[in-house]
Chains A and B, each alone.
Chain A
Amino acid sequence: MLRGLWKLTWIEIKIFLREPLGAIGSIVIPVVVFLVAGRMVSHGVAPTSLAASNFVSVGLPVLASVLISVGAVLSLVTIISIYREGGILKRLRATPLRPQTILTAHVIVKLLLTAATLLLMVLAGKRYYPVGIHVPLLGFTLALLISTCSILSIGFLIASIVPTARFAQPIGAVIMYPMIAVSGLFAPVESLPPTLQAVAKVVPLTYTVSLLEGIWKGDTWWAHKGDVAALALVFIVCTALSAKVFRWE
């Protein structure tokens, strides 16, 4: 069945690139936004401010990564629901293709997309504003991969239950974006009011941000074993749940 997986993945990549806004919308725009934001913060706003420089060196790359990964998840949710509504999922399932092969192909496409965007961002970022600190890129990529898999599994759960394609994007956004707000990206979790701190504790993105920031700053993996465990748990629970409730038509 590997041949089918490879063929399907390759076709889905080609189809994605044929979408009018496919490549530009999800690869070029995030990179441009990242660069513009980086320049504004590093040149325009108080360069001596510790908070600002901390944001540029750690917060911004992590924010950008999280946004890319959430973006990928939202587009996965949308694609799955469009495919379901159009009967494409059902048509594919009426072949010897296994259900998990069909879904794996889409996950691979999204992971490749995330990786490509990230790579571009790193290349562009190096050129325009040297951060000046050594960043463990390989470790960060691995951390982002773990995070994305975990967020993707939430995406699948959303894709399993959204009623129609029209609702896919808004419902996905309503679930994902508030998670970003309390995840510790904009304000440390410790500085939030107690209620929000409690919310942050159960929001998977909090662990994503903690892991990504930590690895970016050069922490050891051991220091973030809790984050990895939490993300793995999210992945297992969401995958198991969506396997139960996923609808093909």
Chain B
Amino acid sequence: MGADHAEINRHVRIYLMVFASLLVLTGLTVAAWKWGPAAVGPTIAVALLIAIVKASLVALFFMHLSAEKRLIYWVLALTVAFFLALLFLPILTASNAITL
């Protein structure tokens, strides 16, 4: 017996909406790069913000994280903590905050 067809059809409708959103956001990424702020700082901020929104949509809906079990959330929370620590190291180094 397959999974509930009505439930899967509901999923499919959501997938198509997410797909459309991702295409719009990709266009927005290119538009912001072409016609957005000239300064490097704001350009990076806008591009990364759009990328984070796109990645969240993929993770929440395509990877089913919007309705996942608690164990997965714990695994991911730990991963995000270590990932941020990894990114923070070069920033610390560049800001010369580490002194001996």
| Binding between chains A and B | no
